[in-house]
Structures are given as structure tokens and as C-alpha cells.
Structure 1
Amino acid sequence: MRLFFFLLVAAILCINCKTKETFQFSLEETVNFLASDSLKGRATGTLEEQQAAAFLANQLKELGFAPKGVEETYLQTFTFMETRDPHKEVEFITAGEGTTTGTNVIGFYDKKAEKTIVLGAHYDHLGMGGQGSLHRGDPEIHNGADDNASGVATVLKIAEKLKDSLMSTNILVQFYSGEEMGLLGSNYYVKNPTLEMNEINFMINLDMVGRLREDKSLSISGVGTSSRWNQSLNVNNPGFKLILKESGIGPSDHTSFYLADIPVLHFFTGQHEDYHRPSDDSEKLNYEGMNEIADYIVAVCMDLDNSPKLTFKMTKNESEEVPRFKVGLGVVPDYLFDGKGMRIDGVSENKPAQKAGLQKGDVVVQLGDSLITDMMSYMRTLSTFEKGDATKAVVDRNGEKIEVDIEF
């Protein structure tokens, strides 16, 4: 393990040798590096992930953040045995044959304050594909520009802006490994913190914030975890179309902190047809939108800088209400759609939706005998079908109602 640390620290020093005397942070440069083919998708435990960790440690150093990992470094490693059983929780163990070691990257800006905010984002991705990939075909590099180089770069931009703006709040920046394998890095940190957990005021998680749309739809989850969130988010909103969700539990790293009784927010610009595919590349990101999101979060953090520490509130676990499916339609739902029905944001090849002629932008308003009014009604209806069933669907396509035959 010590050899592992020395190699990563050496890599950081090597990067430092090449940096300019005056550091100028760039969203695009950070995304382009993390989402480059040379990092081969940043899979957890790979040499390429270690290279990404060294790069991020250097970014934090250049921004003036002190190491807050272990052994006076920016790094916190964790080792686990992989499991393919989705119902079995991963156990963190000592290194050995058949284990994988992930690396969290952590930096701290000390304002000598009594409370600290956590800015977090996962930086791992799917490597060459495998489990979790929606790609069909030969293995290809999954660069993960939106998922989640976008979140990492935006966290760094926020950290750059806040370090000289906050007066009464310390800043803890964390980049997690192992998120794609089950929120492993954030889970490990919460169980093995390098800062007292009772000092943390709140945690902000950015996961997939690189595809802000023209209507500026922005999903924010966790608003029910503190009574202050709604007020601060609305008062400081510069013009986003906010889609606010109460639950502090979701498929990203804020969940780990929520389960430790810490108020959380998760920012998300929506899923798309490049999600978990090799086509999630850096040139497709909306960098202006990422800057706008960064400025918004900075305003929220500054609004709460001199306020008392937030009081944590438990929320309903919305994931417990999600039905289990025996079949799938083969679409990527538009989770930011707030109209009637379920709008399709992408269609998978050789799946029921594509075979029925459904297209991106179609809004499913009826499935079988059930009217579809929102995402939950769609999921409940879909859960009633089994493989081999046939039904009809009605979609709204640019104002025209179209009926199609679906075979599961």
C-alpha cells in the first residue's frame, strides 16, 4: 500500500514539473484530459484512474487546497473484493489476490471556521464498457465526459470561486472512485472520514451537469433534507427551470452523506442517448451551462455562509416506490420533462420501442389500458407486463397522437 502511495505522489510531482507558473483553471481542459482516450475510461482500480487521481490532486494543489487524504497526501485508497450479486453489499478489506483498490482525492481549504461544506463528484467511469454499459458490440473506450468529468470540472470551478469568497465556512473538495460500482468511494469516506463528520454543514454533489438544455432545465435532488434549501435555491435562481426533488437518496454519492444525517443537494442536467456509451465525449458538453451552474451553486453557498449550521431532515425514500420490471421498453426517459406523459430522450437498438417505430421526442401518453401522466405512472404500468406480452402504446409526436404495437 505504501508503494502505491509513493507511485501516485511521484506522478503528482511529475505533473507539477510541467505546470505553468501562473495556474489558470479551465473547465474544457479538465474535461478534455479526464475524457481523453489515453485514460481509457477511468475504470476503478486501473492505472488510468490513478493517473486521473494524480491530475486532480495537482489541480487541488494549484488552487491552494491542502491535502486532506491520509498520510498527508490528497489521496485516500480503499480496497474491496468485487461482487456480481446486486443484493450483496461490497465489503472493504485489506489488499489481496482478486481485490481492487480505488482512490479518493481530497483537498481542504481552511478558513478556520466551525463549519465545512463538502463539494463532491465521482471521477471514475466504465473503462472499456462491461457491466453498466449500454453499448452493444466490441469493447470501446467509455470516456465519460458528462458522466462525470463534467461534475469534476464544475466542482473545481466552484472551489476556485468560493475559496476567496466564503468568510465563515471551510471547503472540503472530494473526488470519488468506485461510484459506478455502487457509491464505493463516498461510502468509504463517510465510514473513514479525514475530517470530523459533525463539522460538515452540507454536501453538494455534481453528477452529470454537462448537458444543460436550451430551456435551462436543472434537476436538484435532496431539497427536503433541510428546511433552508427551497428558500436559498429559489432566491438565488438566475433563471434555471428548476425541477426540485425532496429525497436525499438517489443513485449518486450524495446518498452516502444523507445516510450519515447530513443535508445534501444533487445537481443533474438530465440523461441522454450517450449515457454509459462510448459516445459520451467532451465536444458534446455545454461549457457555458456548466459555468452558469457553478455560479448558481456559488451564490447558494455564499447565501448560507453566515447562517447557522443547517438542521438535517429525513426524507421519503423515493427509490423504495419504484416498481420492479420484468421487461423494458428500450428507451431513455427524459427525467427533466414536466409535462403530461413520459418523454423519450433516446431509443435503444433492437428493443421494443425501436421495433415499434418510437422516436426521440415522442411522449408516451398511454400504455395498454393505462394513461401515462408522469414517470411514476409509466413505471407502474410497465411493471405489469411480462416477456412475450403484446400491447398498444399511444404517443404524442409533435401534437399528433400515434398508436403503435409493442411486443415485449
Structure 2
Amino acid sequence: MADVPMYLQEQTEENIMNRMLAKVPSDIDKSEGSFIWDAQAPVAFMLSEAALWAQELLRRGFASTAASDVADIRSPELDLRAAEHGVTRRAAVASSGTVLFTGRPGTVIPAGTTVATPADEVSGESSVEYVTTAAVTLSDSGTGTAPIRAVVPGKQGNVPADVIQLMMSSIGGVMSVTNPEPTRSGADTETDQSLLERFYAKVRSQGTSGNKSQYMQWANEIAGVGGVEVVPLWQGPGTVGLYLIDTDKRAASPEIVEAVQQHIDPTQDGQGEGMAPAGPVVTVMPAEEIEIHISVKVQRTQEQPSTLEEIRTLIEDGVRAYLQQIAFNRKDPLVRYTRIASVLLDIPIIVDYSELVINGSAEQQNIEIGSGQVAVLGTVSVSE
């Protein structure tokens, strides 16, 4: 805590012992090893320990100090404090995507079929398993696409394209499986800092009578939601549009969108069957992704050898972090050319760059992101 109350300051065993001995008459032996000293020493120790307990109890009693800065720690005291105001920690969300099966035409692959990524013995990374959520019959060309969901919820289910390669149970007629696109929208159990932020939003910015703040609070109660944009009068009077992104600042998955829709306005008839008041018809939608494609020539430093692939990865990480930072920021709805240029110059192994082209334009122009849209990283091409 920032400030410990006076009555809990300097409550060390030594200080407590000295105060106790000061109360003993001067004509009584109170030197170390005497009867009085030996009798008071355990008491001083227990009182100092009780003072530490009191400090810890005081720390856990406030949301700001109960919340941990460590991403892997979840404070039960923060859960209790937030629950007093109707704010509960969001559970982990399973990643979702699609897989492409290849095999004999007409082969039926039932729902619940388990597929997985191979384990990596070098890095120790374990296999990630998924189940199909719908049956699929292979077409005349011998292919078929099925939706999948990760068996274990969490971000570990978000994997790149073409890494799901294993069938966990053999199905006659199926020769191979892969995921053409990355799996997305998996999220870990909400962190303390995220829960604290939502708790503050609830108690400091009260949403009432279905105003914009209240719609945002309702949407953020659903696990996996990473941002909300509210559009009043979306399709005229009596309509409200909600655009969603996930915790990776990408367009929310259909599962997240449906969960928010069911939570706020499941019937969409203005009857107020969900959290939304009677009257407005609420439509929940994923944000429209605007891809940012980058091409650039770089000059590498000679002091630190590197490859163009390493540079490309660093550029992708830097630009992706920048785009996540500005996602759904209506105060500055621009992807700025200069900010992307600064990402390049912040990479130590890049001495200089030239011919920076963003979305096909070499002009130093910003890209405006409209309502309901979110900028995401597209392709990055690096050359010398």
C-alpha cells in the first residue's frame, strides 16, 4: 500500500520489545536473559506478526491494492470486492476456427472429431487439441470444411495457419487435415488488471437508462470481448448497433458475438428480454477488419548480423502492438504513417529504411479507420 496507517508503522519486534521494556519499573532486572525479558520476547514477536497480518488485511480490502500486476495471479479478494458491484471475472474462452479435411469423396466426418497440432519435442510445447462442432461430408473433389473449437479454453488455442495436422482418432477415407486460417478469439481467464479496469468503469462511470456506457458495460461482461463500439440510431430511431473486437483486437468470433447478443437483446424485438431496456432493438456485430499491408526496403546494421526474416518478424510485432493500441480509439481514428515509420526506426538492427509503402501507397498518408472498423496487420514485405 502507498501509505500505511500510523498505528501500523514501525511495528517491528524490536520496537515493540523496547516499548514493553520501557514500561517495566527501573528497579527490576530487564536485561536480555532475565525473567522479564524472556517473558516479553514471545509477546513482542507475536504482536509484530499481528501487525503484518493487519497490513495484509488492509491491503486486500481495497480493489486497487488487492489486484496483482502479475498476469498469472488471480486475486480472490478482488473477485469478492468486484462482485459487490455486480462485476465478475470473465472466464477463459476457447479458440475457434475451421479445418479442411481431404480424402475419399462422400466420407462423413462426424461432429466431435478431435484434431490437433503436433507436439514440439525441442521446445517442449505440447499438442493443442480441437473438436469439430459440426459434421461434414467430403465433396466430389474429396475436400470438406468443418468448424472447430479448442478443447482447453485459453490463448494457447490461437495457432497459426497450417499447423493443425493430426487426426486423434482414425476415420476411414480421411487422408489429411489442416487449418487454412489461424484459429482465433481464444482468451485466458481475465487478469486482475483487466477486472480492476472494468470495476472502476462500473463504479466511476455509472451506466444508466441504456446509455452508451451501460451498453459497453453489458458487452464487456461476456468473456472474450476486448472492445466495444456503440452506434446509437444505427438503423434509425429505436436501433442500436454494437461492434465487437476480441482480446487480440481482432474482429470478435461468431461465438462471442452470439453470446453478447443473447446477453443484451436475445429476441431483437424491443421487448427487453435481455439486459437492454424495452424499446431499442440491439444488433451485435463483429468489427470489420481493415488490413494494413506494408512493404519496405531496409538497411541492416553490420555490427549485429540478422536476416530479413528476423527483421520482418520484429516489424510485424511492433506494428501489431501499435494497431492493438489504437483499436476502437475514436478520438484518433487514424493509422498514422509516421507511427509505422517510428516502429521501423525503433528496431536496433535497422539502420535506415526507404520506399515504405502502406496499402499500396508510397505517399505519407494516414489511413482513416471508420466506425465499426478495426485495423489489423496484413502482409509485411521486407527487402534490401
TM-score, reference length from structure 1: 0.32
Higher normalized contact order (CA 8 Å, seq sep 6+, divided by chain length): 1
TM-score, reference length from structure 2: 0.34
Q: Which of 1 and 2 has greater Rg?
A: 2
